[in-house]
Amino acid sequence: MDTDTATPTDSCQLVEKERSGVINPIFTCQPAGAQYASIGVKDCLGLVHGGQGCVMFVRLMFSQHFKESFELASTSLHEDGAVFGALNRVEEGVDVLLSRYPDVKVVPIISTCSTEVIGDDIDGVVNKLEEGLLKEKFPDREIHLIPIHTPSFVGSMITGYDLTVEEFVKHFATKTEPSDKINLITGWVNPGDVTALKHLLAEMDIDANVLFEIESFDAPLMPSGNHVAHGETTIDDLRDTANAKGTIALNRYEGGKAAQYLEDEFDVPAIIGPTPIGIRNTDTFLKNLSTMTGKPIPESLVEERGVALDALTDLTHMFFADKRVAIYGNPDQVIGLAEFCIDLEMKPVLLLLGDDNSSYADDPRIKALQENVEFGMEIVTNADLWDLENRIKNEGLELDLILGHSKGRFISIEEKIPMVRVSFPVYDRAGPYRHPLVGYAGAIHLAEEMANALFTDMEYKKSKEWLLNVW
């Protein structure tokens, strides 16, 4: 459908936020995405070249979301460095990190807005360290210094994550002997999602290089002492990505670049998306796995699908039909959630994508929404949470449910609209990182979360469900 002639009452429109400023942003900056990717790799410790806040606030978000401690380092840029350059801080930082952490093998050096503005050459300092410090002080140790350019004044945490996954793959991928494995690039997900994905792989007897293996983010308290949470994807896993049968990147904007690189550079076939949220997208994921590996979809997963369909049927027409939903967060997740809501007979009337990625207009999923949606849907790019609040307060947007991360909770509270916490960060609910959104198990969990939010709202507002006449 041509958006120039579409009307908001009967179609899907893709528009850009009209304001130039940002009020209550949906995303944080590129270095946060780089740091999230780095904590997924075993024996890796990211060094953020910038002010201390560029690490402190990101670590705080990780800790709030996962209720765990994560190790990330900063070069602690100060005023003198901003004036005269601060590459000496990178050199000192690498030396201290490698001396203090004898098991660290990978140090991504992550730039920020300040160090990109002053023009610090992190590629040059990596070459200098490799020829100097590493040979002189750590000659018998495997060490990889990887420059990651993530200026905060462009992109978002999503583009920072996507870029960093690609840089890791570019650095390590090495063609040797063909492997029976596939590459699974999960995108920005939770430990519960990785558990659900690995379950699907196990049922199909498929081995995979998982980028990234983050089940260990839910770290145990052991008699031997507390464990600092960290990912388990190894250097060997990253090297082996060049030898896989194929790559499935679950998200177009969170790992799609790495999948495309492996196809272009090593002829590893790539399938990018769809994000396996809901029944139809999980079906497609399993079909893609079967096509790539030649392995059949087992009866056990057919039964799991049937259980999920039964659970959704119990809720869909009776409780979800025509419920109006607003969704914000990571773009692949937002689109996948919208598709799932449509399958549940709901009406996702507002989708907020928090950055200005120019390729959204070419996204086939968005084009499909534009062509097929028969109710008023608005997809806003470069959006912020004022785009949600203003539409409710001042433009008469009526909603039954909000799906998004914790930063939108005050809109939910003030406007008395029930909300289900999804995406990142979620810090005002217990344990969401343990539960999947993806796969058949994720479909059941999410649908029941949405239904329970609606039921609780009915009780709070003393509404009665006339269809059942039991409230």
What would the pLDDT profile of 255-307 be if each residue is shown by its tens digit?
999 999 999 999 999 999 999 999 999 999 999 999 999 999 999 999 999 99
Any residues with CB less than 8 A from the CB of 385 and at least 6 apart, and which? 23, 24, 25, 26, 328, 352, 407, 408, 411
Q: Is the pLDDT of residue 3 over 50?
A: no
323 and 377 within one domain: yes
- The enclosing H or E element of 433 equals none
pTM of the model: 0.94
Given a cut of 60, whether residue 427 has pLDDT beyond it is yes
**Contact call for residues 152 and 113 (beta carbons, < 8 A):** yes
Both 310 and 448 in a single domain? yes
Distances (CA, A) of 164 to 38, 170, 235, 362: 8, 10, 15, 23
- Are both 45 and 114 inside the same structural domain? yes
| pLDDT at position 20 | 85
Beta strands in 37-98 (DSSP E): 47-49, 73-74
In contact, 190 and 434? CB cutoff 8 Å = yes
What's the rounded mean pLDDT across residues 368-378? 94
**Is 187 inside any structural domain?**
yes
pLDDT at residue 464 in the model: 64
- Of the listed ranges 87-91, 354-358, 368-372, the least confidently predicted one is 354-358
In a domain, 4, yes or no: no
> Residue 185 — very low, low, confident or very high, per pLDDT cuts 50/70/90?
very high
Tell me whether residue 7 is in a domain: no
Q: Which of 106, 44, 117 is nearest to 77 (CA)?
A: 117
Predicted local distance difference test score (pLDDT) of residue 73: 96
- Asked whether residue 347 falls in the same domain as residue 273, the answer is no
The yes-or-no verdict on residue 27 having pLDDT over 80 is yes
Q: Which among 212, 292, 295 is positioned nearest to 254, based on CA atoms?
A: 212
pLDDT at 391: 97
Q: Do 35 and 21 have their domain in common?
A: no
Question: What is the pLDDT, as a whole number, of residue 19?
Answer: 87
Residue 145 lies in a domain: yes
Q: Which of 121, 138, 165 is the last residue of a domain?
A: 165
Residues 196 and 154 reside in one and the same domain:
no
Together in a domain, 247 and 381: no
Question: Could you check whether the bond before residue 212 is cis, i.e. omega within 30 degrees of 0?
Answer: yes
Strands 225-226, 221-222: pairing kind: antiparallel
Mean pLDDT calculated for residue range 163-189: 97
pLDDT confidence tier of residue 352, bands split at 50, 70 and 90: very high
Shared domain for 329 and 444, answered yes or no, is yes
Structural domain contains residue 159:
yes
Residues 317 and 447 in one domain: yes
Range(s) of the domain holding residue 86: 30-165
Domain with 441 in it: what CATH number? 3.40.50.1980
Q: Tell me whether residue 3 is in a domain.
A: no
pLDDT of residue 9: 61
Decide if 418 is inside a domain.
yes
Given a cut of 80, whether residue 2 has pLDDT beyond it is no
Quick one: average pLDDT of 407-418? 96
pLDDT at 82: 72
Indicate whether 6 pLDDT > 50.
no
Task: Please state, in angstroms and rounded to a whole number, the distance separating the CA atoms of residues 425 and 406.
Answer: 6
Q: Is a pLDDT exceeding 60 seen at residue 41? A: yes
Q: Are residues 369 and 436 in the same domain?
A: yes
119 and 200 share one domain: no
pLDDT attached to residue 80: 75
Grade residue 471 by pLDDT with cuts at 50, 70 and 90: very low
- DSSP secondary structure of 175-195: --S--S-EEEE--S--HHHHH
Lowest mean pLDDT among 9-23, 85-99, 268-282: 9-23
At which of 111, 132, 165 does a domain end? 165
**What are 94's two structure tokens?**
């690498």
**% residues pLDDT > 90 (the chain):** 86
Q: Is residue 92 part of a domain?
A: yes
| Amino acid residing at 413 | I
Last residue of a domain, one of 132, 165, 198: 165
Percent of the chain with pLDDT over 70: 96
Q: How many domains does the chain have?
A: 3
| Mean pLDDT calculated for residue range 414-438 | 95
Residues 115 and 155 in one domain: yes
The CA–CA distances, whole Å, from 19 to 356, 386, 393, 436 equal 13, 10, 17, 35
Residue 7 has pLDDT above 80, yes or no: no
Interval 26-45 mean pLDDT: 96
